[in-house]
A and B are shown apart, each in its own frame.
Chain A
Amino acid sequence: MSRTFLGLPRTLRRPDDVAAGPDEPFGAVPHPQAPLRWGDAFPEAARQTLKNGQLRRNLGHATQVIRAKRAAVVSEVPDWEALRDAGSALKERVMAELPELLAELEENVTARGGVVHWARDAAEANRIVAEIAKAKGADEVVKVKSMATQEIGLNEHLAAEGVAAIETDLAELIVQLADDMPSHILVPAIHRNRTEIRDIFLARMGDAPPDLSDVPRELAMAARAHLRRKFLSAKVAVSGANFGVASTGTLAVVESEGNGRMCLTLPETLVTVMGIEKLVPSFEDLEVFLQLLPRSSTGERMNPYTSLWTGVTPGDGPSEFHLILLDNGRTDVLADTVGRAALHCIRCSACLNVCPVYERVGGHAYGSVYPGPIGAILTPQLTASTGGVSGHHDVNAALPYASTLCGACYDVCPVKIDIPSILVDLRAREVDADRSRRGVDPWAAAMKAASWVMSDGGRFGLAGRVATLGHALGGRDGVIRVAPPPASAWTRSRDLPAPPSQTFRQWWAKEHGRPADEGDDE
Chain B
Amino acid sequence: MRIALAATCIADTMFPGAPRATVRLLERLGHDVVFPPGQACCGQMHINTGYFAEAVPVVRNHVETFAPVADGEWDAVVIPSGSCTGSVRHQQAMVCRRAGLDDLAATAEAVAAKTYELSELLVDVLGLADVGAWFPHRVTYHPTCHSLRMLHVGDRPLRLLRAVEDIDLVELPDAESCCGFGGTFALKNADTSAAMLADKAGKVRATGAEVLTAGDMSCLMHIGGGLSRQRAGVRTLHLAEILASTREEPTTLPPARVRETEVAR
Q: Bound pair: A and B?
A: yes
Question: Residues of A with Cβ closer than 8 Å to B?
Answer: 42-43, 46-47, 50, 56, 356-357, 360-361, 400-408, 410-411, 421, 424, 426-432, 443-444, 447-448, 450-461, 463-464, 467, 477-479, 481, 486, 489-490, 492-497, 499-500, 502-505, 507-508, 512, 516-519
Contact check, B145 vs A500: say whether CB atoms are below 8 A apart. Answer: no
What are 24 residue pairs bridging A and B, where the CB atoms are less than 8 Å apart in the complex?
A: A402-B189, A402-B192, A403-B185, A404-B196, A421-B90, A450-B46, A454-B9, A454-B43, A455-B41, A456-B40, A456-B61, A457-B36, A457-B39, A458-B38, A460-B39, A460-B41, A477-B257, A490-B190, A493-B194, A493-B198, A497-B14, A497-B15, A504-B19, A518-B37
Contact check, B192 vs A360: say whether CB atoms are below 8 A apart. Answer: yes
Q: Which residues of the other chain, A, contact B150 by a CB distance below 8 angstroms?
A: 407
Q: Which residues of the other chain, B, contact A450 by a CB distance below 8 angstroms?
A: 45-46, 54
Contact check, A408 vs B37: say whether CB atoms are below 8 A apart. Answer: no
Q: Which residues of the other chain, A, contact B53 by a CB distance below 8 angstroms?
A: 432
Residue from the set A447, A454, A457, A496 with the largest chain B CB neighbour count within 10 Å: A454
Asked if B140 lies at the interface with its beta carbon under 8 angstroms from chain A, I say no
Asked if B30 lies at the interface with its beta carbon under 8 angstroms from chain A, I say no
B 167-202 contacts with A by CB, 8 A: 176-178, 180-199
Q: Take A451-B58, A456-B61 as given contacts and tell me if A505 and B12 are in contact as well, using a CB distance cutoff of 8 Å.
A: yes
Q: Which residues of the other chain, A, contact B20 by a CB distance below 8 angstroms?
A: 504, 507
Please list the 10 inter-chain residue pairs (A to B) with the smallest Cβ-Cβ separation, ordered nearest first.
A404-B182, A427-B50, A494-B225, A407-B149, A519-B37, A460-B40, A455-B57, A406-B178, A451-B54, A504-B16
Contact check, A404 vs B180: say whether CB atoms are below 8 A apart. Answer: yes
* Distance from B62 Cβ to chain A, minimum over Cβ atoms (Å): 9
Contact check, B149 vs A406: say whether CB atoms are below 8 A apart. Answer: yes
Contact check, B229 vs A504: say whether CB atoms are below 8 A apart. Answer: no
A477-B254 Cα distance, complex, nearest whole Å: 10
Asked if B107 lies at the interface with its beta carbon under 8 angstroms from chain A, I say no
- Kindly identify which residue among A356, A447, A500 contacts B180, using a CB–CB cutoff of 8 Å: A356
A27-B48 Cα distance, complex, nearest whole Å: 36
* Distance from B209 Cβ to chain A, minimum over Cβ atoms (Å): 19
Known A411-B149, A430-B50, A460-B40; further 15 A-B contacts with Cβ < 8 A: A43-B190, A43-B191, A401-B188, A405-B185, A407-B146, A407-B148, A458-B37, A464-B13, A494-B197, A495-B257, A497-B224, A504-B12, A505-B35, A517-B35, A519-B38
A447-B47 Cα distance, complex, nearest whole Å: 10
A357-B186 Cα distance, complex, nearest whole Å: 12
A519-B61 Cα distance, complex, nearest whole Å: 13
Contact check, A46 vs B189: say whether CB atoms are below 8 A apart. Answer: yes
Contact check, A497 vs B16: say whether CB atoms are below 8 A apart. Answer: no
Task: Return the chain B residue nearest A357 by Cβ.
Answer: B192
Contact check, B178 vs A489: say whether CB atoms are below 8 A apart. Answer: no
Q: Which residues of the other chain, B, contact A404 by a CB distance below 8 angstroms?
A: 145, 178, 180-183, 185, 193, 196
Contact check, B194 vs A504: say whether CB atoms are below 8 A apart. Answer: no
Asked if B52 lies at the interface with its beta carbon under 8 angstroms from chain A, I say yes
A424-B103 Cα distance, complex, nearest whole Å: 23
Residue from the set B48, B176, B221 with the largest chain A CB neighbour count within 10 Å: B48
B 1-25 contacts with A by CB, 8 A: 7, 9, 11-16, 19-20, 23
Asked if B65 lies at the interface with its beta carbon under 8 angstroms from chain A, I say yes
A407-B189 Cα distance, complex, nearest whole Å: 17
- Mark contacts of B246-263 with chain A using CB atoms, 8 A cut-off: 1 yes-contact digit, 0 otherwise: 000000000101000000
Q: Which residues of the other chain, A, contact B221 by a CB distance below 8 angstroms?
A: 497
* Distance from A257 Cβ to chain B, minimum over Cβ atoms (Å): 31
Task: Return the chain B residue nearest A411 by Cβ.
Answer: B149
A4-B7 Cα distance, complex, nearest whole Å: 69
- Kindly identify which residue among A400, A407, A447, A492 contacts B194, using a CB–CB cutoff of 8 Å: A492
Asked if B85 lies at the interface with its beta carbon under 8 angstroms from chain A, I say no
Asked if B243 lies at the interface with its beta carbon under 8 angstroms from chain A, I say no
Number of interface residues of B (CB under 8 A): 74
Q: Which residues of the other chain, B, contact A517 by a CB distance below 8 angstroms?
A: 35, 37
Q: Which residues of the other chain, B, contact A457 by a CB distance below 8 angstroms?
A: 36-40, 61, 65
* Distance from A353 Cβ to chain B, minimum over Cβ atoms (Å): 12
Q: Which residues of the other chain, B, contact A499 by a CB distance below 8 angstroms?
A: 13-14
Task: Return the chain B residue nearest A401 by Cβ.
Answer: B188
A467-B12 Cα distance, complex, nearest whole Å: 11
Q: Take A457-B65, A460-B9 as given contacts and tell me if A494 and B189 are in contact as well, using a CB distance cutoff of 8 Å.
A: no
Q: Which residues of the other chain, B, contact A481 by a CB distance below 8 angstroms?
A: 229
Contact check, B51 vs A50: say whether CB atoms are below 8 A apart. Answer: no
Q: Which residues of the other chain, A, contact B190 by a CB distance below 8 angstroms?
A: 43, 489-490, 492-493
- Kindly identify which residue among B61, B181, B189, B226 contacts A42, using a CB–CB cutoff of 8 Å: B189
Contact check, B51 vs A447: say whether CB atoms are below 8 A apart. Answer: yes
Asked if B222 lies at the interface with its beta carbon under 8 angstroms from chain A, I say yes
Contact check, A443 vs B37: say whether CB atoms are below 8 A apart. Answer: no
Asked if B133 lies at the interface with its beta carbon under 8 angstroms from chain A, I say no
A453-B35 Cα distance, complex, nearest whole Å: 19
Q: Take A457-B37, A457-B40 as given contacts and tell me if A447 and B49 are in contact as well, using a CB distance cutoff of 8 Å.
A: yes
* Distance from B237 Cβ to chain A, minimum over Cβ atoms (Å): 13
Contact check, B61 vs A508: say whether CB atoms are below 8 A apart. Answer: no
* Distance from A440 Cβ to chain B, minimum over Cβ atoms (Å): 15
- Kindly identify which residue among A405, A453, A460 contacts B48, using a CB–CB cutoff of 8 Å: A405
Asked if B89 lies at the interface with its beta carbon under 8 angstroms from chain A, I say no
Contact check, A46 vs B192: say whether CB atoms are below 8 A apart. Answer: yes
Task: Return the chain B residue nearest A519 by Cβ.
Answer: B37
Asked if B96 lies at the interface with its beta carbon under 8 angstroms from chain A, I say no
A400-B185 Cα distance, complex, nearest whole Å: 11
Task: Return the chain A residue nearest B65 by Cβ.
Answer: A457
* Distance from B24 Cβ to chain A, minimum over Cβ atoms (Å): 10
A454-B133 Cα distance, complex, nearest whole Å: 34
Q: Which residues of the other chain, B, contact A411 by a CB distance below 8 angstroms?
A: 149
* Distance from B192 Cβ to chain A, minimum over Cβ atoms (Å): 5
Asked if B228 lies at the interface with its beta carbon under 8 angstroms from chain A, I say yes
A37-B149 Cα distance, complex, nearest whole Å: 31
Contact check, A500 vs B229: say whether CB atoms are below 8 A apart. Answer: no
Task: Return the chain B residue nearest A504 by Cβ.
Answer: B16
A481-B265 Cα distance, complex, nearest whole Å: 13
- Mark contacts of B83-100 with chain A using CB atoms, 8 A cut-off: 1 yes-contact digit, 0 otherwise: 000000011000000000
- Kindly identify which residue among A42, A406, A421, A486 contacts B182, using a CB–CB cutoff of 8 Å: A406
Asked if B142 lies at the interface with its beta carbon under 8 angstroms from chain A, I say no
